[in-house]
Amino acid sequence: MSISSSLNAGVAGLSANATRLATISDNIANSGTFGYKRASTDFENFVINQARGAGTYSAGGVRAATSRLIDEQGALVPTNNALDLAISGRGMLPVTPAVSLNSFTGGAQPLMMTTTGAFRPDANGVLRTESGLVLLGWPANADGSIPVLPRDTVSGLRPVVITANQTAGDPTTTMNLGVNLPATATEAEAAGNALPLSVEYFGNLGTSHTLDITFTPTVPATGSSNAWTMQIRDSAQNGALIGEYTLTFDDTRANGGTLASVTTVSGGAYDPATGSLDLTVAGGPIAMTIGKLGDANGLTQLSDNFAPTAISKDGSPVGNLTTVEVDDNGFVTATFDTGFTRRIYQIPVVDVPNPNGLIALNNQTFQVSPDSGSFFLWDAGDGPTGAVVGYAREGSATDVAAELTALIQTQRAYSSNAKVIQTVDDMLQETTNIKR
């Protein structure tokens, strides 16, 4: 009966608009929630009578379908904490529930995703949010490189751990030696005294050692030899001789004062292509650059002054952790009070073919589903993904003005459907009153 179908349609309209009201209220309630993704309700009509010209019509009503618009992004909000993270574009941060760290016994943690988070180290140094989301990343090797790991599985991901009292040292591996030797010391009747130089370097345990270098001129009977003997001793090996070289300098107008030849007497060989010596100290190899042949930036022999002109090296003594920051590529870098920096993790960006097909969970987190497709772990900024942004949070995707407008429309539609039910009730009452 058409009147009964009208009643059913009115009831369906009340239910559909109540569903829409629920999504609107949820959106408005989370207008200040970082990383919140707006919920949407769409209406679909339901057709019962499809016959043309039947003379009667049965109302089918309406059905409500809700969805979460996960691909909509909120504006980035700047903060003053380096570990407040967001994604400036597509993709999400990999996280896992803190409760799973103790209860999960497998080799990998269960994967969840979020677009933003305010991460802080807990008592064990694990980076997590107040809601218990632990940040996941790939641990770096000792030299700061990231190992090659599979991108379609979470087996390589580990909780990011930042220990506040962490200390670290950086051993010296390269050194540049720029020294000017006095040309007058290689002339006939010169004193021939050895010229000492001490250069500090740092061992594998952060201890300080020195390379003790002596330059002994070759004094000829007549004229100038322009030749020196360089000996290098390592304090970590009780002053053992680790290299001896004969240096000859050019005295031509074009290249006067630069190295003309380097002859290895003992120790690591001289590489003329790079201008470096391969020295072996107690903790391992050090590449000492003394300059290419004809290069004015290495060892020189000019005038009558002995002076270090440019001595530099890498490495640092043991220092205490001061700050931790995440750059656009997702690299987590620790800075120590000695000025030494070390890359300790890389945070990948998780992406799926259909973000709106993800399963929405509490605390603005999501999980993969058959509708979303399989995930892939990208380097931040590669492929379709955006960069990782520190000192920022992603704001709510709710537009309050639009939601309030939709609220007015929903209220009117709900009242109209209620009026339909009231009208059907009056008509049924008239039908009942036909027989008195």
Picking from 312, 274, 310, the residue whose alpha carbon sits closest to that of residue 293 is 274
Q: What is the pLDDT of residue 170?
A: 82
The structural domains of the chain, with segments of one domain joined by +, span 2-69+397-432, 76-168+319-394, 174-314
Each residue's pLDDT expressed in tens, for the chain with a length of 436 residues = 578 888 888 889 999 999 999 999 999 999 999 999 999 999 988 888 766 767 777 887 899 999 999 999 999 999 999 999 999 999 999 999 998 887 654 556 789 999 999 999 999 999 999 999 999 999 999 788 999 999 999 989 999 999 877 777 788 999 999 999 999 999 999 999 999 999 999 998 888 999 999 999 999 999 999 999 999 999 999 999 999 999 999 999 999 999 999 999 999 999 999 999 999 999 899 999 999 999 988 999 999 999 999 999 988 888 888 899 999 999 999 998 887 888 999 999 999 999 999 999 999 999 999 999 999 999 999 999 999 999 999 999 999 999 999 999 999 999 999 998 898 888 888 888 887 6
Map tokens 């020196």 to a residue.
228
Amino acid at 23: T
Give the start-end residues of each E strand in 182-306.
195-202, 208-217, 227-234, 240-249, 259-267, 270-271, 276-281, 284-289, 300-301
Instruction: Give the number of other CB atoms < 10 A from CB of residue 40.
Output: 17
| pLDDT tens string 20-50 | 999 999 999 999 999 999 999 999 888 887 6
| Torsion of the alpha carbons at 374, 380, 382 and 384, rounded to the nearest 10 | 50
Q: What is the pLDDT of residue 104?
A: 52
Amino acid at 411: Q
Q: What is the pLDDT of residue 106?
A: 52
Map tokens 């931040």 to a residue.
380
CATH classification of 174-314, choosing from 2.60.98.20, 3.90.470.10, 3.40.50.620, 1.10.490.10? 2.60.98.20
Map tokens 């590449």 to a residue.
287
pTM, rounded to two decimals:
0.76
Buried b (16+ CB within 10 A) or exposed e, 214-226: bbebbbeeeebbb
